[in-house]
Amino acid sequence: MALEQPLTTTQESVTDDFSPSRPWWFVPTFVTVLAVLGLLAYALVIRDRSQLMSGAAPNFTLQTFDGQSIELSRLQGKPVILNFWASWCVECDKEMAFLEQASVTYQGEVVFLGIDYLDTEPKAREYLALYGITYPNGPDLGGRISNDFNIKGVPETFFIGKDGTIRGLKVGPLEEAELENWIAQLQAE
Amino acid sequence: MAALAQTPEVNDVAAELYCPLCSGLTVDVCELEVCDDMREVIQERLDAGESPEEIKSYFVEQYGQKVLGKPSTEGFHLTAWIMPFIGLLGAAMILVFWLRNRSSSEVVQPLPHLSAEVASQSDYHARLEQELQRLE
């Protein structure tokens, strides 16, 4: 027994001196796996970010095709109908005429804004002329506005209350009666 | 639908731009209407004397960096630029750890069979020798 005790101590000493408590690859592998998992989790969160249905509308400044500069936050006090569209969007055709009609009917009471999504300026201008659109429209430069509102396509229409908060969202083409209902609701608030 | 790229000059510029709606297709081969429109704009701007770089800058202003097929340099997209370097750093760290470990192993491995000359320089071996002597 006297033989075994010192030798065991010596073996432990060897282990302490030459073998780290963790394998050599532990730290770099752990850091790499952690970084990849963190990125994947963040990417999933970003991808599944739900569309804006409520809360304060993200502010933006729209440079319209006719040279105006319109900041959303300055429109507080009036309801805003914010419509995303594009000249190549077939479904957008269904709502442009009565959006224009409503903008004329409710001029001074409700603000209509059109955001041209991933389009070319000449085609957008042709499109606006085709439907005789007179309310302010402008390109979504750099895709910043559509990104802030997290739209999934066009057409999409946001209904913004007098206090600047989003009251509702319509994905796809609006119905005329639906638009009238929203306007009545926003004006009554 | 309009014809595809009308001239080689248009094609050259369009080939360096990516469709803003679909992923991975360049404007010279994409058949979406928006890409037809983009080719028309390229033609008009070339005719107006703009350089390919000016035209590309115009489209970046319109659609953002993604139209160049490069990730944005803002927010989360910045990771696409940073991660390759972090990956390289990680790989370099692993390589260094591995090399260090290998060289350590080369020293450690012969220990149980150390010659008397090398062992005499080792505290461990001295202790081992003492133990062995006690046994004898």
Please list the pLDDT of chain B residue by residue as tens digits (136 residues). Answer: 445 546 899 999 999 999 999 878 999 999 999 999 999 999 999 999 999 999 999 999 999 888 998 777 777 777 788 888 888 888 888 888 888 888 776 655 555 555 555 655 667 778 888 888 888 7
- Give the residue from chain B lying closest to A42, CA to CA: B76
What is the residue-averaged pLDDT of chain A?
88
Element (H, E) at A81: strand A80-85
CA distance A18 to A26: 16
Chain A residues within 8 A of B100 when measuring between CB atoms = 24
Partners of A13 on chain B (C-beta within 8 Å) are 124, 127
Q: Which residue of chain A has the CA closest to B72?
A: A142
CA atoms of B80 and B85, how far apart (whole Å): 10
Q: Tell me which residue in A46, A119, A143 faces B76 most closely, judged by beta carbons.
A: A46
Q: What is the ipTM of this complex?
A: 0.71
A residues 80-139 lying closer than 8 A (beta carbon) to B: 86-88, 118-123, 139
More confident residue, B46 or A19: B46
Report, in angstroms and rounded to the nearest whole number, the Rg of chain B calculated over CA atoms. 32
Which pLDDT belongs to residue B112? 57
pLDDT in tens, A33-92: 888 888 888 777 766 666 778 899 999 999 999 999 999 999 999 999 999 999 999 999
pLDDT of residue B49: 97
Taking the Cβ of residue A45 and every Cβ of chain B, the question of whether any pair is shorter than 8 Å is answered with: no
Verify whether the Cβ–Cβ distance A122 to B40 is below 8 Å: yes
pLDDT at B96: 87
Q: Which residue has the higher pLDDT, B68 or A25?
A: B68
Which residues of chain B lie closer than 8 angstroms to A34, CB-CB?
none
Q: What is the pLDDT of residue A12?
A: 47
Question: What residues of B are in contact with residue A120 (Cβ under 8 Å)?
Answer: 34, 37-38, 40-41, 62
How far apart are alpha carbons A155 and A56 in whole angstroms? 21
Phi, psi torsion values for B55, nearest 5 degrees: -70, -40
Gap from A126 CA to chain B (nearest CA, Å): 12
Other beta carbons within 10 Å of B70:
13
Residue-level pLDDT at A4: 47
- How high is the pLDDT of residue A187? 97
